[in-house]
Amino acid sequence: MKTILDKGWSPYLAGALSGIILILSVWFTGKYFGASTTFVRSAGLIEKMLNAPRISKMDYFVKKVPKIDWQWMFVVGILIGAVLASASSRIFRWKALPDMWEARFGHSRVKRGMVAFIGGVVAIFGARLAGG
């Protein structure tokens, strides 16, 4: 009999658990969990280390102070949880991109990386445009 440790996590189970966590997050804290603000705040933290006076004058960072908060920890938790889930189902491998990307976009790592990067930029732009 195959178990979760033999075949990996079901995307349906993972999606259902994510939905339950979202409902509990809103119920107990009144806040939706998300990641897009975290990426902007992380960029602000990096720039704050390099040029703090510039950050203190930017309107966005006056409202959304660059800091490590619960959302930042949530994103770190996503990374840790993904590694633990992958390791527990014995499918963990260090890979820059899935095999599917090589089949679709060719052998060039640079081309595949650029497509992934552009997709990420489009996704984060859309998330920020929608208010997170």
Can you say how many angstroms the Cα of residue 33 is from the centroid of all Cα atoms in its chain?
11
Are residues 87 and 100 located together in one domain of the fold?
no
> Within this chain, do residues 26 and 40 fall inside the same structural domain, yes or no?
yes
Same domain assignment for residues 21 and 57: yes
Other beta carbons within 10 angstroms of residue 10's beta carbon come to 11
- Nearest of 98, 40, 107, 109 to residue 72 by alpha carbon: 40
Alpha carbon of 128 to those of 46, 57, 88: distances in Å?
Answer: 19, 21, 33
| In a shared domain, residues 28 and 79 | yes
pLDDT for the residue numbered 46: 92
The reply to whether 12 and 41 lie within a common domain is: yes
pLDDT in the model for residue 132: 63
Contacts of 64 (CB under 8 A, 6+ apart): 37, 40, 41, 44
d(CA 11, CA 89): 13
* CA–CA distance, 44 with 39 (Å, rounded to integer): 9
Write down the pLDDT at residue 90: 75
Number of structural domains, the chain?
2
84 and 99 both lie in a single domain: no
Q: What is the residue range of 116's domain?
A: 95-132
Q: What is the value of pTM for the model shown?
A: 0.58
* One domain for residues 87 and 118: no
Q: What pLDDT shows up at residue 11?
A: 80
- Across the chain, which has 132 residues, the per-10-residue mean pLDDT values are 59 87 86 78 89 87 85 88 81 73 80 86 84 66
